[in-house]
Structure 1
Amino acid sequence: MAVQRALGLHHTLVTAIADLVDNSVDAGARNVLIRFLSTGHATVGLRVIDNGAGVDDVSIDAAMRYGTERVRRDNEHGHFGVGLKAASLSQADEVTVYSSAKGHTAVARRLSVAGRGDVPLVESLPTVAAESTLAAAHPRFPFETGTVVEWRGLRTFPMTSDHTEQSVWLETAIKDAQAWLGLVFHRLIERGLALTIDVYDTATLRAGAPRTVRAIDPFGYQRSGASGYPRDVTVDVGSGSTVALHVWPARSSLPAYTLDGASGRSAQGFFVYRNDRLLQSGGWLGVVRPRPEWALARVAVDLDDALARHMTINPEKARVTVDATLSSALRRVLTPDYLADAATAAKAARRVQRRPITVVEPGAGLPDAVADEFADSFTFTDTADPVDIGWRVLSVDRFFEVDLEARTLWLNARFRRQLGGTSRSNDDVPLLRTLTYLLAQEMFDSVRHSSRQTEQIEAWQHVLIAAMRAQEENGR
């Protein structure tokens, strides 16, 4: 039982919801509603409602038991047969399934645990409970048959009594769910699957306005960033398997490129699909190491039987790993020409982009993605050499030091741990490094400081040290 309870421990809220949506899709649902349940300002539960085929009493018993095996269709999105249980118990202490199938009496089962180490217990609820819950669902779409999965006793929802924090958390959770589900199911949404999210007030028995989950296609550009792409190439694993090489257009601000709201660089690499459901959103799977100049390179991989034999899907269906055979085959697919074309597209856009702001070039001490964004966003002055960023123990009244001779911006190592830094990293706390560098970089565009610059530096020191002390007080 310990192994069964361990399944799904790495689920996040959005990956757990996606696992339930998989079940809805497998049941033939064309509409799925994710409904947050609120009481006052507190979010107390979650429901996933679909208008699929529903299940009868035999099928629901099998779905709620561990160790039950059944034959799965090749086109199903469920992969391990434990998705409902693992996803639900990763988030909540109690999951109840209400379902109605054509020609069958409505059924309801509840799976619950009192603690993380307890054996999950299954109980059957009266037919009247199933009928009343389904009748009161009102999901705003045809609901003659279908299923309601409800989570209660949620461990991953905020326990704070602060109304503002509750509201901020809920709004963030909804936006995260829209982004993740829109990405993972984008092909199915484009083919007609309707996903919506709303908030239901358990006191007034009314639901708020529905939010639509829109498709976010990671290959949804209008014109390729390089000629000759996308290009289908064969993966040599003893079959006719192919993958599609893509080069995004440079400087795109489309949500389909900036998947996490960042620059898009974190999403270079492989996008792996199984039955049009996204399993891996970027990353090179250990085949090659990511590089900033490959930010426009994305490879679409649709799993067939041959590729699936060399790939392992993690229980949360949010990541895959490949064996040595497939890794070698994919490395041959990533030809120098392809990666060079992606890099050339990025460099060409940088040359023609208008960058009116000039700064001193940062050297070592920033993550590659941040350093590359500097190159994209600014013109580097040609009158000053690059400046490194590092830690050094300074006096207690100094937050930073501008070292013109060493061409280094030193941050006070006395505050490193308090600011979230670690001695094991040369580019830790990148936000602090970047902000301090933007503040002080112009001080390196000279051989000596003027009296006004010296006064500026001293003023900054006083304010930053005061902020540091205020942070220490707040942390006590």
Structure 2
Amino acid sequence: MMLSKQSDTRYIDAAPYASALIEGHRDFGYSLKTALADIIDNSISAGADRVRLVVDTISNSPSVAIADNGRGMSESELFEAMRLGSKNPTFDRLPSELGRFGLGLKSASFSQCRSLTVITRQDGITSCARWDLDLVAETNAWTLELIEDYEGELGYDLLDEIGTVVIWKKLDRLVGEIDTPGKKTEYMNAEFSLAERHLRLTFHRFLEAPKSQFQISINNRQLTPLDPMASFHPSTQKDPDDNIRLSNGHVRIRSYTIPHYKKMSQHEWDELGGPEGHLKSQGLYIYRENRLIIAGSWLGLAKQTELTKLSRIAIDIPNTMDAQWKIDVKKSSAQLPQPVRERLKRIIERFVGSSKRTYRSRGKRLVEGTMHPIWNRVQVEGRIHFKPNSEHPVFQSYSNCLPHELKEGFERCIRLLGAGLPIDALHAELVGNAESIVAMQTSESDLNQVVVDLTDALLVSNVTPDRIKDVLQNYPLLQSNWELSERLVANYLKEKGL
């Protein structure tokens, strides 16, 4: 349709087809967890300190409701919020605003459902509107429904005196083609379990801030913060802050070395590693206005290795840098500006050494000559071998008891044990899963033999009796069983009258 004509130029209405464009807004790449996080961003921007998720995974018509006690919206504000592209990303925003394009509410919701209803209340006035993609497809028009009889709507009972409730129905993307009720519920529950961890991680700074008293709950279960830096753990190592000032704000960089797994409970360690493990969790953690947008990646600045998996760097940026960092619609990816990239290269080169030293110092103790190691580390022509230490006091003590004709066979057994070390299998297990590999339990009689033979060897080496216990406590095998080992050492020294 021609709108007007001036000189030789014609102007026509080239508005996109509603049914085609709105379906395209379903494919920005949101997952359930990133979609929920985007909705909660709006709640935080609205000043809410309580967000409640009510999830129905068992009925024939599953649904999700996200309710907050923020400032709510007037009817005109609601209509604007339901408009696609309601906010220009180049406009200035308050530091508390976590949105960018004015697309999050709609695109995040459409990625999971075909029916988006919003009920909101401000100054005692309640307003309700709905996008139904089936209706848009049928009419091929931007048909936004205004709901007058909102009291009968799902989620209305969650509305506070002021605040907003977002309701997802027709969860076609979340449920998919699963038609068995039991499997549908099982799949949805698994997805919400992953989403729960993501929300605890993404908003951990809001959840742990004492003054804000911010809360998120799922089906009346309050979420606890998950700090990927373990910044409050007494064994976490923290480097001084590093600040980079740019034209539109400054970037704050803080480096952390999380504790070795032996200094944490199993639950704490597993929480930090998450489902992908610590190898994937190392790297950069980028926060935009205290909201986590990148969780664990070196972004091409370093390799993810077993020796650096304790290294994590928190980077804080303001929302004034969105264009410079190329923050996407989902707020789940970013690109480092060149000045930041150059500074980070130098920081990372210096910093990751502390994580490597944490592991290497433990490795060195296993092969330190004065400790009578069971295994020796041998380097020949650039290749590293580990072989049993045939001079270990336990081996020597037993060898001395053998007849001459059996000694050679015993030494051969020790050599074959070293040659048969399953390097490939160990490497496969160690990559990303080193903490799950533990030594087998040692019997008391075997432990006692180690104590006896090592004590005799130390006495021969002129170690005084009063220092025996201190030296043996650093021996890895005895250290891991020290309560029993200490008693065995005391008994043996007593037997010898020392």
Q: TM-score, normalised by structure 1?
A: 0.66
Contact 2:48 2:68 survives alignment (8 Å): yes
Q: Quickly say closer, same or farther: Cα 1:106–1:225, change in 2 above 3 A.
A: closer
SS at match of 2:81: helix
Match of 2:335 in 1: 321
| Larger Rg over CA atoms | 2
Match of 1:244 in 2: 254
Match of 1:361 in 2: 422
Match of 2:41 in 1: 22
* 2:87 corresponds to which of 46, 69, 76: 69
Cα deviation, residue 97, structure 1: 0.8
Whole-Å Cα distance in 2 between the matches of residues 343 and 27 of structure 1?
44
Whole-Å Cα distance in 1 between the matches of residues 172 and 186 of structure 2?
18
SS at match of 1:273: strand
SS at match of 1:111: strand
Match of 2:3 in 1: none
Cα deviation, residue 185, structure 1: 0.5
Tell me if 1:211 matches 2:200: no
Whole-Å Cα distance in 1 between the matches of residues 323 and 223 of structure 2?
33
Q: Which amino acid aligns with 2:279?
A: R
Whole-Å Cα distance in 2 between the matches of residues 217 and 83 of structure 1?
25
Tell me if 1:281 matches 2:307: no
Deviations 1:39-81 (A, max 9, x none): 54x4621111111111111111111112433653232011221
Q: Quickly say closer, same or farther: Cα 1:318–1:255, change in 2 above 3 A.
A: farther
Match of 2:184 in 1: 166
Contact 1:36 1:43 survives alignment (8 Å): no
Give ranges in structure 2 of 5+ residues lacking alignment.
1-15, 367-373, 375-416, 441-498
Whole-Å Cα distance in 2 between the matches of residues 350 and 3 of structure 1?
58
Cα deviation, residue 255, structure 1: 5.7
Give ranges in structure 1 of 5+ residues lacking alignment.
199-209, 381-476
Whole-Å Cα distance in 1 between the matches of residues 327 and 280 of structure 2?
20
Whole-Å Cα distance in 2 between the matches of residues 150 and 77 of structure 1?
20
Counting aligned pairs with the same residue, the percent is: 22
Q: Quickly say closer, same or farther: Cα 1:374–1:55, change in 2 above 3 A.
A: closer
Q: Quickly say closer, same or farther: Cα 1:172–1:234, change in 2 above 3 A.
A: same
Cα deviation, residue 327, structure 1: 1.8
Match of 2:110 in 1: 89
Q: Could you say which structure has the higher helix fraction?
A: 2
SS at match of 1:91: coil
Tell me if 1:195 matches 2:216: yes
Q: Quickly say closer, same or farther: Cα 1:376–1:352, change in 2 above 3 A.
A: farther
SS at match of 1:271: strand
Cα deviation, residue 317, structure 1: 1.3
CA RMSD in angstroms, aligned pairs only: 3.3
1:291-370 mapped onto 2 (5 Å cutoff): 291-304=305-318, 308=322, 310-334=324-348, 336-349=349-362, 360-363=421-424, 370=430
SS at match of 2:80: helix
SS at match of 1:156: helix
Match of 1:110 in 2: 130
How many pairs does the alignment contain? 356
Match of 1:157 in 2: 174
Which shifted more, 295-304 or 240-249?
240-249
Whole-Å Cα distance in 2 between the matches of residues 274 and 144 of structure 1?
30
1:4-43 mapped onto 2 (5 Å cutoff): 5-6=24-25, 9-38=28-57, 40=59, 42=60
SS at match of 2:353: helix
Q: Quickly say closer, same or farther: Cα 1:322–1:256, change in 2 above 3 A.
A: farther
Contact 2:289 2:319 survives alignment (8 Å): no
Cα deviation, residue 267, structure 1: 1.0
SS at match of 2:228: coil
Whole-Å Cα distance in 2 between the matches of residues 317 and 173 of structure 1?
20
Cα deviation, residue 120, structure 1: 7.3
Deviations 1:91-123 (A, max 9, x none): 1112111111124x2111111223998967442
Cα deviation, residue 32, structure 1: 0.8
Deviations 1:395-435 (A, max 9, x none): xxxxxxxxxxxxxxxxxxxxxxxxxxxxxxxxxxxxxxxxx
SS at match of 2:206: helix
Contact 1:272 1:303 survives alignment (8 Å): yes
Contact 2:283 2:312 survives alignment (8 Å): yes
Q: Quickly say closer, same or farther: Cα 1:373–1:135, change in 2 above 3 A.
A: closer
Q: Quickly say closer, same or farther: Cα 1:126–1:90, change in 2 above 3 A.
A: closer
* 2:68 corresponds to which of 40, 50, 60: 50
Cα deviation, residue 259, structure 1: 4.0
Whole-Å Cα distance in 2 between the matches of residues 286 and 136 of structure 1?
47
Contact 1:66 1:82 survives alignment (8 Å): yes
Whole-Å Cα distance in 2 between the matches of residues 313 and 256 of structure 1?
30
Q: Which amino acid aligns with 2:421?
A: V
Contact 2:49 2:215 survives alignment (8 Å): yes
Cα deviation, residue 341, structure 1: 1.0
SS at match of 2:161: coil
Whole-Å Cα distance in 2 between the matches of residues 364 and 234 of structure 1?
44
Whole-Å Cα distance in 2 between the matches of residues 361 and 45 of structure 1?
51
Q: Which amino acid aligns with 2:422?
A: E
Q: Which amino acid aligns with 1:249?
A: P
Q: Quickly say closer, same or farther: Cα 1:125–1:372, change in 2 above 3 A.
A: closer
SS at match of 2:174: coil
Q: Quickly say closer, same or farther: Cα 1:157–1:324, change in 2 above 3 A.
A: same
Contact 2:131 2:145 survives alignment (8 Å): no
Cα deviation, residue 3, structure 1: 6.8
